[in-house]
Structure 1
Amino acid sequence: MPNNANRRLPAHVLQADLDCITALKAIEGYAPSNPADSLAAITELQTRVSAAGEREFHAANSYAAARDDTVLLENERHKRVQSIKNQVRAQFGNDSNQVASLGLKKASERKAPKRQNGTEGNGA
C-alpha cells in the first residue's frame, strides 16, 4: 500500500500490476483464501479502474476545451476593451475626464520627459 493514497503511482508500477494480473490468468488452480484476491475480484476491479481512467480522460478533455473557450473569449474581450479605450480617446481627447473614468491617465497627469545629460555620472 502506498504511503500516500492520494498520489499517483508511477507508470512502471501500474504496468507491473497489469503484467501480474495477466500472468495470474494463466495460473491454473489459483484459489486464494481471501475472496478479494480472486481472479474474478481483480478482473472486476481492473474494469472499474479502466472506467475511471476513461472518465478522467474525458473530463480532462472537457476541461481543456472549456479553458480554450475561456482564453479565446478573454482575448476577444481584451481587444474590444482596447478598441473602446482608443475610441474614447479619439472622441473626447487624451486629457478628458472620460479617459480618466476608464482608469487611464490624462495627458496632463503624465510626467514630462526629463532631458538626459551626457555628462551625468562623470563627477565633473
Structure 2
Amino acid sequence: MPTRSQPQSATQVIKSLSYSGTNAIADGYLRFVQSGTSTRVQVDANAAADAARLAEWEFHNAVLAMKEVVRGQYGADSDQAQAVGLKKKSEYKRPSRKKLVAS
C-alpha cells in the first residue's frame, strides 16, 4: 500500500485493493474531498467488510421484525410463532413457591 508521500493513480490504488466491482465511488471505496483549493482522494480499504457487516445487520433486523409480525398476527402461543423459532407462551415454566423446610 502506498504511503501519503507516494501519490499513485486511482486505478493503481483500486487494483491494490483487489476491487472487482464497476463503480468504486458508489461502492464506498473512493471518496473525493475538497481541501482548500485542491481535491483529495480518500481510500477506504474496509469498504467491502463494512458493506457485508451492514447487510448482515439489516438481515438480522428484518428477521426480528418478521418474528414480531408473526407473533402479532398469530399470537404468542401459536404454532406459527414456534415455526419461526419463538417459544410458545404456554411452554414457559410457571413460577412456583419454594417450600420451606421446618427444622
Letter in 2 for 1:96: S
Residues 112 and 66 of structure 1: CA distance in aligned 2, closer, same or farther (over 3 Å):
same
Equivalent pairs counted in the alignment come to 65
Separation in structure 1 between the aligned mates of residue 69 and residue 95 of structure 2, nearest angstrom = 26
**Among candidates 58, 63, 88, match of residue 81 of structure 1:** 63
Q: Which has the larger radius of gyration?
A: 1
Q: What is the RMSD of the two structures over their aligned residues, measured on CA atoms?
A: 2.8
Q: Which runs of 5+ in 2 are unaligned?
A: 1-11, 19-43
Separation in structure 2 between the aligned mates of residue 74 and residue 105 of structure 1, nearest angstrom = 24
Shift of 1:116: 6.2
**Among candidates 63, 67, 71, match of residue 53 of structure 2:** 71
Separation in structure 2 between the aligned mates of residue 114 and residue 97 of structure 1, nearest angstrom = 26
Residues 69 and 115 of structure 1: CA distance in aligned 2, closer, same or farther (over 3 Å):
farther
Q: Which runs of 5+ in 1 are unaligned?
A: 1-50
- Higher RCO structure (Cα 8 Å, ≥6 apart): 2
> After TM superposition, where is structure 1 displaced by more than 3 Å over at least 4 residues in a row?
114-117
More strand by share: 2
Separation in structure 1 between the aligned mates of residue 90 and residue 52 of structure 2, nearest angstrom = 37
Shift of 1:88: 0.5
